[in-house]
Every structure is written in C-alpha cells, then in structure tokens.
A and B are shown apart, each in its own frame.
Chain A
Amino acid sequence: MNIAVLQFPGSNCDQDAFQLFASGLRLPTRFVWHKETRLGDADLVVVPGGFSYGDYLRCGAIARFSPVMAAVRDFVEKGGLVLGICNGFQILCEAGLLPGALIRNSSLEFRCVTCDLAVADAGTAFNTRVLGRRIRLPIAHGEGNYRIDDAGKARLEEHGQILLRYVDNPNGSMGGIAGIRNEEGNVFGMMPHPDRAFERFHPSSDGLAVARAVLSVRFPEIARKTA
C-alpha cells in the first residue's frame, strides 16, 4: 500500500492528510510535489485542502494545470483511486475529473464548523452499512457551494454518485451535497475534512472510517487490516 499526498504552493492540509493515512491508518504515505510528472507506484492519490495558488482566478483553477495533474489524469484513466478534500475537491472539479463546480458560500461567510452529514449509498464500499447513517466531520471553506445543472444532478442521483449530504446546509450547496464520486467510482471529492477527524483532540474520529471506505473501493482487505 502506497499513499501519495500531493502538495501545491498554498496547500495547507497536506500534513493533515499525510497524518490521517500515516498515523491514523498506519499506511506507507509520502508527499508528491506539484512539479513532479510521475506519481510512482501510488495506490491512492490524495489531493489535499488549502488555498492552492492563493485561490487566484477560481479555487483550483491554476492547480489544475500543474504538471502533476497530467499524471493524476493518467492515473484516473487507468482506474487509479483519488480522494480530493476541500480545495482538493475544487481542483478535481476544475480538472473535469469530477462533475460540477464549487462557488462562494451563499452566506458569503467562511464556514468553519463541525457538520452532521447524512451518508448516502454510493456503492459497495461507501454506504450507510459501512459508515452508518450519520457521521460528523469539520468543514472550513468559503467556496463550498456545490453547483451542477439539472441534468448533471439527475445523473449523480441515478448513478449513486452522491457520498455525503449536509444535515444543516452550511453553504447553499444544491441538494445539500457535501461530497461526490465520479461515475466510474474511482475519484472521490468532498468539502468536509476527514483529515481533521481522527486524533483524540479532533471533534470526531469519523475521518478514519471515511478514509478506510475510500481505500476499500480498490482494497477491500484494508477495512480489516487497519481496524
């Protein structure tokens, strides 16, 4: 098992994401700088949160063109597993690896709270049986308001691509959507932070189950080994 955590200029949850997998799940984890053109033998690529390139132009718009993102695109096309958290979710949407886009919170406020999230049934690995009906994860973002056209939203629902919905919508997201996956089921993106929900001093430990659920899409044995 080999987890690759990307680092862009302005990433600030790269260390949190690293610790989630390295110390939370005790899996071999390493950083990959955005200028790299290869990912090595990664089993999971994590696109972490932060403010890549200062959120200039649009959140994730410039990171999308970093050299490493071409490698991520190849990795995804070969079926590789990717998890984008917060700014990582925004980058994956900008790159077209996930559908839709994230705009300014409807309140115009930066929201930094722990949210109750309703788990949706999004396949054999990520569902209410594995995670339970409700989990709690922190959010910290100003642009988490998920938008997609009606046809796109219908497709998300039809293919079970919605992962998590806010119980109390903090940002105006359509349908309270907090996280989605792609149709093929190997690219995951969410605004809430599993990487800020696993240490004893964190507001919850549900981040571990979320990380395990994503990994078990490709590596079903991971759920037992890291439990």
Chain B
Amino acid sequence: MKIKVFVTPKKNVLDPQGVAVGHALESLGLRGLKGTRVGKVVELELSEPDSPEFRAQLDKLCRDLLSNPVIEDYHYEIAQ
C-alpha cells in the first residue's frame, strides 16, 4: 500500500515561504494569483494492508510527527 501525506500551513497561519514563492510566480508573468501556500509531501510504502486500526495509527503519527497541529494541517491519500 502506498500513502501520500500532505502537510500544509494552516489557513490562518502566515506562510512567508508561500508569499515569497507567490511573488516569484508573479514576476514570471503569472496573472490573477490569489494565494500561494507551500507545504510538503511525505510518501510512505507499507507491506501491511489497510485497516481501521492502521488509520487511527496513521492519524496519530500525522499529528505527533509529520505535522505540527499548531501551525499545520494534514491529509493523506492511500493507494492499494
């Protein structure tokens, strides 16, 4: 099973990196840009099958390590 965890800065938290990247995109000619947020993707590959217990464990790992809930949101995609 393959998992992609997406970690993004919370909507109400300032994202200096996103602002800078946004300015660069505009300077390259992108018009109508309304927002840029920079996050990260963590890819996992597991030999175990999906299960409700695994989802609970994955959520805990996302909260404890992969994201910091004070400043970041996360979501994930699972492909078998």
A contact residues vs B (CB 8 Å cutoff)? 57-58, 61-62, 65, 93-94, 100-101, 103-108, 145, 147-149, 172
Contacts and interface: CB of A to CB of B under 8 A. Distances in A.
A174 to B, nearest CB: 9
Contacts of B68: 58, 61, 94, 101
A137 to B, nearest CB: 23
Given A57-B66, A61-B65, A65-B65, A106 B13 contact: no
A104 B19 CA distance: 12
- Does more than half of chain A's interface fall in helix, strand or loop, or is it mixed? loop
21 contacts: A57-B66, A65-B65, A93-B70, A94-B68, A100-B70, A101-B68, A101-B70, A103-B16, A104-B16, A104-B17, A105-B16, A106-B14, A106-B16, A107-B16, A108-B17, A145-B14, A145-B16, A147-B14, A148-B70, A149-B12, A149-B70
Interface string B59-80: 0000001101011000000000
B65 A147 contact: no
Contacts, number: 38
Contact of A108 (B13, B16, B66, B71): B16
A61 B70 CA distance: 13
A147 B16 contact: no
A103 B65 contact: no
